[in-house]
Every structure is written in structure tokens, then in C-alpha cells.
A and B are shown apart, each in its own frame.
Chain A
Amino acid sequence: MSGRVLLRAFAAPGLTIVLLPIVLVSWLAFFSQEIPSFPPEGHSLRWFSAAFSERKFASGFLLSAEIAALSTAIGLAVSIPAAIALQRFRFRGRGTLGSILLFPLVIPGVVLGAALYIFEVQAEKTTDLPLIGSYAGLVIGHVLIVIPWCIKLLGVSLSGLDRGIEEAAMNLGAKPWTTFRRILLPGIRPGLVAASLFGFVVSFGNLEMTLFLVGPGQSTLPIAIMQYLEWKVDPTIAAVSVVQIVLIGAALLLTDRYVSLSRVV
């Protein structure tokens, strides 16, 4: 009883700190005046229509979604075999490989972006492939930051999976590929769903690394928002943020219905 009170006493300020900016930004989006100030002069929905009619936001949103979907798909395709290998086999360099795959998680986005940019410059100089500012270069960078999440989440899922069920499948006549498709993949579905979601969100919201990799005319949503802020400070940005928060929140809630997120993360 007293333990629960204590827990709440600690959780409440934490939760407030986490939620306060979200609440304020969401409120700001409905202010009617152009210069954000308290108290609001009135409330309106005009900033939402402004956000939707701003072409840069719409195209940024589409590009971000496209890049996020593509790099999550590629990241998963790479991570599934890697996570299985790390989980199942004992081989030389296993620990090192595991660390390398999680590395992008701890490298600051600016450093990662700069390193990739320098690499692209050097690679383009030697191979003549158009890498700098290319779509492919951008996707490669995003795949890199998606992989650690996939490896981590799939790893948790795999370690919770009974190896016996794969042997049972083979005993019943399933060849390795069938066993993988019919038994292993469905078995780690929670991990797959969580990895896709987190991969998508991480890629979608990335700004620092992306700044180094976009070419002229390409702007992802975070970049479009930043560019807008350089010239204007009005609640349009808040409205864009609210749309993002609602979409991501909906995705999280939806996922939580299938996978208990507190169990996976």
C-alpha cells in the first residue's frame, strides 16, 4: 500500500515532465493568434488547414513515410537472419558482431551523418557512382539506424521462443524453410511488429543524420519543419506536430493491442 503511494509519488513528476511539452504543443496548435503567447486570444483550427495546404509539409510527410517504410523493410530483411545467427549460433566474433550491429544506437546522429557524408564523398570520387545527396544514400543511412532496434527487439522475441517447436515441426515433416516460414516467423511476430514500428518511428523522426544526406529539393518532414521554423514561428508547426503525435500514438496503441509493448521493450 505505502509502496504504491511511493511509486506514484515518483512516477507523477516523471510523467508530468514527459507529457507537459506534448500537452502544451497540442494546445498551442489550437491558438487562434499568430504569435504564440499566453493566454490564448481564442481557439481555431486554421493552423491545421495551413499545415495541410503547405506543400513542403505534405511532400515532406510523404518522403519521410516512404524512406521510413523502405528502410524498415530493408532493415528487417537484414536483421532477421542476423538476430537468428546471434541468438542461435556460437561462433568466433559473435560478441563483436552483436556490438557492431547495435553501434548506430550510441553514435550521435550528427557524427553518423558527417561520417556517412565523408564516406559518400570519398566513394563517389573513386567509383563515380552518384552517391552524394542520392535517394539510395539516404535510405542506406536510415537502414543503419533502423537495424539496432530490429536486432534488439527480434532478439528479445527469439530468446523467448522455445527451440523445441522448430524441432517438433521438422519431426512432423517440415523442411527448414517451411519451419522458418510456418513456425519461427509466426513465433516471433510480436518482435517483428515491434521492430517494424520502432524502425519506422526512428527513421521517420530522424533529423540530425538526415541533414547530411539529403540532396537538393529533398526534404523529409523533420527537415521541412526546421526550414519553416527558420523564417516563421506560428502554430502551423504545432499543428504538424499534433498530426505526427496522433499518428505515432495511434500506431503504438494499435501495436499494444497485439503485443504488450512493456513486455517487448
Chain B
Amino acid sequence: MSRLVVSGLTKIYGNFAAAKDVSFEVGEGELVSLLGPSGCGKTTTLRMIAGFITPTRGSVTIGEDDVTRIAPWSRNTGMVFQNYALFPHMTVAQNVAFGLEMRRIGGAEVRERVQSALQMVRLDHLADRYPRNISGGQQQRVALARAVAIRPRVLLLDEPLSNLDAKLREQVRIEIRTLQQELKLTTIMVTHDQDEALTMSDRLILMEGGVVQQIGTPRELYNRPRSRFVADFVGQSSFIEGEVVAPGQFRSIQGALLSCPERDASGATLNTGKATLAIRPEAIRLGPAAETAPPGHAGKVEFVSYLGSRIDVHVRLATGEAVISTLRDLAEPLSVGDPCHVSWADASVTAFTA
């Protein structure tokens, strides 16, 4: 396994930049996710690492080798495709053996390595089946075994879970992560699913419009988003738009006076002018309407989503702002139209200019 360094990677089609100056590093054995909405450049970046797209500028380095101009078949990356791309005319075992044959590895060793790769994904009993005769989840694991069997220097996962149903996804997520850690595979995963990215990754790279927006651990991205886009894309947030009227004082568009941090998300002093406040739903407390402490705001319940392990309550403040609160449980049942007391700690507010 090797370190991967992507530096200044850019791909321009005509006058459209699919990826702009993308730079990051993936350490040995680390799993890093490229996360973002569709069209953000994450897949383009992955395909440039695999060698299927030639970058306009920038470089890809695996270990000590600059592979920017190296053909895909000589890069020694193992890729798991979104639709698995198993060879339909080959059995499961032949699929897994293909990469080894290409490396001119001898018959006995091929058999041994195919066997161990299939055992790793617990599919050795299906070695002689054809891809069309196994389930989607099994196909996914064959694709993984095929990519891992060649002992790639970097493992590339392209939306590996998007074709699985919700229940299976949860399980495969854990399997892939466990396998990746056991084998210490340097891994890049492309996904548009933030839950997937948060639960599986050591670090996340959030992209939008071909540009890297923020790189950090899941915790960093969730707790210290550097821009409104990040706060919006990773987890839920209630956004209140308005302006800073004095240091630490904010007036919303609807006219509510709120306290705000003195520095914005990037750490710069927050000057007076337009700004947006973001509050995570678990930081917002709801209480009975009669409550006065801690100081807060009067609100009215607009919508209640019961999600089993948690309840999302959409509340409209008396001044007009909409906020969402996540509760573990309701002490007293809240229903639509009920008045309530809304409060949050000042420290839980993040401010963005613009």
C-alpha cells in the first residue's frame, strides 16, 4: 500500500472546468471520501486517479511514482465500479482471477489468491457461479474481491453502496470498512451520501463545482464547517439570515435580535454586514411554552417527523424564523400547532459571512 498525492489536478472540457486545482493527500492505509452533490467533480477526480481521464493540469503520485501520464492498465489501482462491472461471461472465480492473469501470475498461485480473496468476502462457495446468478450484494462483494486480489497500491471505490437496498447498505458499509482496515488499504471512496462518508471515512473531502470546499475528519466537518455549503451538506442545520449590527449582535431579516459569535467560521472577525447563522438541530432545545429559563424564544410547532430513534421537530419562531430541533424523546408529546419555548447555547452558533 502506498501514499497517494493529488496535486493541482484540473480537468477542463471546452470552457467548463469539471475539476479545478484539486489537491489532497491520502496516507497509507487511510480511507478518504470524496463527497459532494452530483456534478461536483468527485467522479472526474477519481477517474483521473484511475487513469481513465487525462488531466488538463496537475499530477497524481502513488508512492514515489508520478503516474499522471501512465496508462490505466499500468497504474495498479483496484477499482470497484458503481454498477460493479463484473465480466458477465466469466464465473465469480474467473472474474477475480482476471487481474492476476494479467500480471502473469502462475496457475497455482492464482487459485490460492482467488480462494483467499473470495474467503475474505465470504463468497468462496459461489466461485463457480456466473454474476447473473448471484444477488446484488454478492456481486458487490465479488467486485471488491476482484479489486483487492491484485493487491493494488490504491483502492478506488466509486459509489460502492448506491445500488444496494438500505438494510444491506448498512451491513456492507461495515464490511468494507473492516476489510479496508484489516488490509491497511489506501482507499479513495466517491459518494454523494453524507452518512456513508461520515461513518466510513478517516477524512472527508467535500467538493462543489469542481472545487474542494473543505478537507477534514468527519468530526471537523460536522462541528467546524468552514462555509455555509459545508454546514448545509454535512448534517442538518437551521439557517437564519440577517446582518451583524454590532460585535456579537445579529438581527435576522424578520427582525429578531440574536446574539452571535464575534468570529465567523473561518476564524476572521465578523464585521457588521450581511451574515448567516447556522445551528445544528441537536443544539436546539424545546421546552413548554411557560418556561422562561434559559432565555430563548417563543415558537410554534409546524411539523413533527418521528424517526424512531429520534424526533425532528420543525418550529417557527414568533418572529418568523424556521428552525429544526432533534430530540431523543419527547417528555410531553408535541403536536403541530403547539406553542413552545425554543433555546440554544450561544456557543453552538456558527456564523458565515454572506
Contacts and interface: CB of A to CB of B under 8 A. Distances in A.
Interface of A: 162, 164-165, 167-175, 178, 182-183, 186-187, 189
Contact of B146 (A162, A172, A186): A172
B83 A169 contact: no
B98 A174 contact: yes
Q: Which 9 A-B pairs have the closest CB atoms?
A: A173-B102, A172-B99, A164-B85, A168-B85, A186-B89, A171-B79, A170-B72, A165-B85, A170-B73
Interface in B66-115: 71-79, 81-83, 85-89, 98-99, 102-103
Q: Looking at B50, B72, B99, which has the most chain A CB atoms within 10 Å of its CB?
A: B72
Contacts of A170: 52, 71-73
Nearest to B104: A173
A183 B87 contact: yes
Given A171-B78, A173-B150, A174-B73, A162 B102 contact: no
Contacts, number: 64
A178 B79 CA distance: 18
Contacts of B71: 170, 175
A169 B89 contact: no
Interface of B: 50, 52, 71-79, 81-83, 85-89, 98-99, 102-103, 146-147, 150
A162 B73 contact: no
A69 B333 CA distance: 81
Nearest to A175: B73
26 contacts: A162-B85, A165-B85, A165-B87, A167-B52, A168-B79, A168-B85, A168-B87, A168-B146, A170-B73, A171-B50, A171-B72, A171-B73, A171-B75, A171-B77, A172-B78, A172-B150, A173-B74, A173-B99, A173-B102, A173-B150, A174-B102, A175-B71, A183-B87, A186-B89, A187-B87, A187-B88
B146 A167 contact: no
A151 B89 CA distance: 22
Contacts of B89: 186-187, 189
Contact of B73 (A164, A165, A173, A186): A173
Contacts of B79: 167-168, 171
Q: Looking at A173, A183, A187, which has the most chain B CB atoms within 10 Å of its CB?
A: A173
Contacts of A174: 73, 98, 102
Contacts of A178: 102
